[in-house]
Structure 1
């Protein structure tokens, strides 16, 4: 690992970022109180330059923000999305020390083989292929050192970014957005919790055709090391490039992998980007990462279906009830109209009973235009505070929609959705959720 990822290197980078942030904050204050003009696009580019040297958690946060509509202005999203989340992988000396810290000095004897070079490197850790003593192919996900202090420092920087933004634009309060991102990012550091999440997903999806989840190897796992069975597969876009006729089947498998846990158990995979899935030769989907999992109150799930019915039938009172169930407050008629603009964009593919591509109403250009219109209207009605539970539901739905956009699948999404929610009963969701979470030691939602 390079010096830039040592604690000293990180502190030096924070000093550089802090200086840059101070200058940006001063310019924003000048615009607000002295009437000095600030070019937002130029400011966003400077922000990216200031943050560009940071690796690790803050880059994961930047990815998250780029898929939460109106968390930041579009100029900021465009710049932050260019930041690279891939951290340099740890070299073998670091790996040996980290593995010894997790499994003890004789750790290599617990494997038949362990590959020295990482198979994948990400923002919080890296993955090594190995073979267990029982002959199973394994994936060992090893967390980088000092990540807890790095996450806390990066979350402080995120608060600064949000405060800079809010001084310039009060259309969306980011207080609960920060709280939710902080909670999920801290959870991602606990590989013991991720192991339990993985077990929950194996349970929930055990009878779902075309979806596969790795099995945790508990005796080779700790809070900072997660060992699981290796699932062979190819990246989604690589697969469909050579087998384009597989697009629809892969999309339907992805739909079930994400929405069966949500509508039957109130659980979502909060990080649905292309890198977290691979495709098997039979077109089945492998789910590979369970660090960002969100559990919802069953009433929240009911609100998702209620809002769908409200949009379909034009029932504004039901829409208000749905938004309140999600945690929105001070709901006026004008605010409901604005929120419905975004909701119609998100729900559009399932409002139309016909075979179609997601891109018809959910393209990036249309989404950007819709988000800008919503943002403008939110300023007019006095702004809104995004509830915590809503943050990752919206982010995950948009992220999954982006996967479907890449696939260019042509499916009757309306029928898929209606088949899934037929006979929906919020009490049954509550009972199933309690049973599966309790079985694997995952806390119930507050």
Structure 2
């Protein structure tokens, strides 16, 4: 196929995707707009269900975007967030014949000779690709993640329609300016298409967590990887939710490993794993008992400026010590504008929720009396009500995945019903914290992994 033909095919695929996404989502948008125009209120729940059905028929990356949007406080109304979180992002799996063609396209006509074994039936499927078990010629177990065809076209079409989701909320009197949020989501989802970058993310995390035995990171196989195929060593483990009935000690050990897997890279290197989906972690055991977690997926990794990391620590210490000036300085560091006392108090509603478990020097659950799906909803509503009085606020783009990951991590702790001293765990991670040291560590780790900040 010529380059011109390939580009024409990509354009056709993108145009078809635009049409399907636009028709499905646009129809619901028109319905909501009509209800508002004619004063028909109280229909949010049914409209939210209609939107979920429209998106649910599309599969693929729009599902990932919709689920992501649902985890960011106040970007869409609560009724919509609840429905969007129910969506499953899996696309229909590729059949054996199609997998063979895709593998040939990535590794050449003799691709099969490069593996000892290769299972054509996938063991897992997600929004952008599916995972196959394989072995090296020497017998080492592998996981091969193969991207679905035309994903670039699908992603661009779906990102374009992201504005439709945001416009729904603007029509309902939104108090969060979504401009920066849209930019951030677009940038991160596009990055997930590049599996060569994901292989570098794996190398980055192997360097960062080399001295954290409770967290295992796979090893990528560059010779068996391309931009749309990533091959890594298989890590045996069991699903996190299969341990919900374990003893308290075992559940707390798993939760502690999760805490370190998230907070250690951030506080030491300014890096977070931005996709806290339960399917991205498994539990490994030693002598028949849980010993830690396997961190499996590295498509959504966020690298932060060291000043942002300093703001996170400043806000924590300001809230801990009752130092209002330090709290304000943290918000200013992040780029919040027009920081009146009222706005600071409003932002502190969310900050005290996120930091609350870290501020109390006692063994506790992450939250009481809420389900994982409800975690953070009450506080988001309180922020929404307070911001209604002062107009839209622009949220710095770094917060999109910071908040998403924090909420997802809290959800895992709730699933496990973990009881930890989060305060002491966090204090241990920021002991001797220095912004300059974060920058130094980050630079060294990125250079080793072949990445740029």
Normalization by structure 1: what TM-score? 0.93
1:325 is matched with 333
State how far apart, in whole Å, the 2-side matches of 1:42 and 1:293 are: 35
1:312 is matched with 320
Please tell me whether residue 422 in structure 1 is matched to residue 431 in structure 2.
Answer: yes
Shift of residue 281 of structure 1?
A: 1.2
2:379 is matched with 370
Equivalent position SS for 2:146 = strand
2:302 is matched with 294
Equivalent position SS for 1:127 = strand
Is the contact made by 2:375 and 2:410 (CA closer than 8 Å) also made in structure 1? no
Please tell me whether residue 235 in structure 1 is matched to residue 243 in structure 2.
Answer: no
Q: What CA RMSD, in Å, does the superposition of the two structures yield over aligned residues? A: 2.1
Shift of residue 428 of structure 1?
A: 0.6
Equivalent position SS for 2:210 = coil
Equivalent position SS for 2:170 = helix
Match of 1:62 among 49, 66, 74: 66
1:195 is matched with 199
State how far apart, in whole Å, the 2-side matches of 1:362 and 1:134 are: 49
Is the contact made by 2:237 and 2:285 (CA closer than 8 Å) also made in structure 1? yes
State how far apart, in whole Å, the 2-side matches of 1:343 and 1:267 are: 20
Residue segments in structure 2 that go unaligned for 5+ positions in a row: 1-9
1:3 is matched with none
1:386 is matched with 395
Deviations 1:105-129 (A, max 9, x none): 0000001110111011111001111
Deviations 1:150-170 (A, max 9, x none): 000111111111122212222
Equivalent position SS for 2:130 = strand
Match of 1:255 among 244, 249, 259: 259
Assess, with a 3 A threshold, how the Cα gap between structure 1 residues 24 and 11 changes in structure 2: closer, same or farther: same
Is the contact made by 1:68 and 1:395 (CA closer than 8 Å) also made in structure 2? yes
Is the contact made by 1:346 and 1:362 (CA closer than 8 Å) also made in structure 2? no
Residue segments in structure 1 that go unaligned for 5+ positions in a row: 1-5
1:408 is matched with 417
Is the contact made by 1:253 and 1:285 (CA closer than 8 Å) also made in structure 2? yes
Is the contact made by 1:114 and 1:128 (CA closer than 8 Å) also made in structure 2? yes
Shift of residue 16 of structure 1?
A: 5.0
Shift of residue 372 of structure 1?
A: 0.9
Assess, with a 3 A threshold, how the Cα gap between structure 1 residues 390 and 92 changes in structure 2: closer, same or farther: same
1:354 is matched with 362
Match of 1:159 among 152, 157, 163: 163
Match of 2:280 among 253, 256, 276: 276
1:107 is matched with 111
Is the contact made by 2:134 and 2:144 (CA closer than 8 Å) also made in structure 1? yes
State how far apart, in whole Å, the 2-side matches of 1:434 and 1:215 are: 21
Residues 19-30 of structure 1 mapped to structure 2, 5 A cutoff: 19-30=23-34
Is the contact made by 1:345 and 1:362 (CA closer than 8 Å) also made in structure 2? no
Equivalent position SS for 2:245 = helix
Assess, with a 3 A threshold, how the Cα gap between structure 1 residues 238 and 10 changes in structure 2: closer, same or farther: farther
Deviates more, 1:237-246 or 1:64-73: 237-246
Equivalent position SS for 1:258 = helix
Deviates more, 1:386-395 or 1:102-111: 386-395
State how far apart, in whole Å, the 2-side matches of 1:24 and 1:360 are: 36
Assess, with a 3 A threshold, how the Cα gap between structure 1 residues 413 and 242 changes in structure 2: closer, same or farther: closer
Assess, with a 3 A threshold, how the Cα gap between structure 1 residues 24 and 120 changes in structure 2: closer, same or farther: closer
State how far apart, in whole Å, the 1-side matches of 2:52 and 2:46 are: 10
State how far apart, in whole Å, the 1-side matches of 2:84 and 2:296 are: 25
Equivalent position SS for 1:360 = coil
Please tell me whether residue 145 in structure 1 is matched to residue 154 in structure 2.
Answer: no
State how far apart, in whole Å, the 2-side matches of 1:90 and 1:234 are: 25
